[in-house]
Chain A
Amino acid sequence: MVKSGDLVRWENKDLVPHLVADISLQKWQSQNLLPNDSFTLKIKNPTSYICKHHPTMQAKLVSQD
């Protein structure tokens, strides 16, 4: 559960690269995240997100507002 203004951090604990982006692929995206890299985003509007490298990997940030 997140609310607007929260900082959300994605950490790549996997053995392969990932690239996280909003589900529309138009609002925001991380850099290419190699294993052990991380990405932090200040959330404006909680949204669904996707791994651009592995498009079947999808999840959702749930709003607490």
Chain B
Amino acid sequence: MKNINYFKKFAFVLLAIAFIGCAHAMESSNDSSNKLTDANIAAIVVGANKIDISAGKIALDRSQNNQVREFAQRMVTDHQSVLDSAVKLVTRLGVSPKNNDLVHALAKQSSEHEVKLKSLTGKEFDRLYIDHEVAYHEAVIEVVKTQLIPGANNQDLKDTLVSVLPAFDAHLAHCKNIQASL
């Protein structure tokens, strides 16, 4: 129960950072429409995918649980595929990803999480990795739906964000199933 409360809190903090980050971007943007810029959104997409790839690689290195390892490999494969598509798209659009407060906050949280992951083994590791994956996917899906899709100016970028949601929803359902079995 303690872990569940912790990760609910984590998801809330991530969402709060997202809203604060977006508000900050709106205040500091030179864009007269006061929207989160496509460059900010590109940086968030790149950063968020890299974080889950990195966590997945740690799980492949440390977990002995076949379900967890299979899920981790799926995260590495799928998020690399999304990352490759995103980089290809922003390159074609001539958009240079521009970090904002959310990207910095995500990177900081990821770094702290990885330190914790690397200190654990066995079932403790599996629970922390999977609990965090559930909270992370819940938060990312919410941010994509409520902030990134409405904020995207370029239609191709908006369409790409919409198209990743079914896979992210499937990831969330998959790790919730594993969470229930641990």
Contact = CB atoms under 8 A, between A and B. Distances in A.
Given A35-B81, A35-B85, A53-B74, A14 B166 contact: yes
Interface of B: 74, 77-78, 81-82, 85, 160, 163-164, 166-167, 170-171, 173-174, 177
Nearest to A32: B77
A57 B82 CA distance: 18
Interface in A1-50: 13-17, 34-35
A53 B170 CA distance: 10
Contacts of B171: 54
Given A35-B85, A54-B167, A16 B77 contact: yes
- The majority secondary structure among interface residues of chain A is loop
A56 B166 CA distance: 11
Contact of B81 (A13, A15, A51): A15
Interface of A: 13-17, 34-35, 51, 53-57
Contact of A15 (B167, B170, B177): B167
Q: Which interface residue of B74, B82, B160, B170 has the most chain A CB atoms within 10 A?
A: B170
Given A35-B85, A51-B170, 15 more contacts: A13-B163, A14-B163, A14-B166, A15-B85, A15-B160, A17-B77, A34-B81, A35-B81, A54-B74, A54-B167, A54-B170, A54-B174, A56-B173, A56-B177, A57-B166
Q: Which interface residue of A15, A17, A56 has the most chain B CB atoms within 10 A?
A: A15
Nearest to B74: A53
Given A13-B163, A15-B160, A15-B164, A56 B174 contact: yes
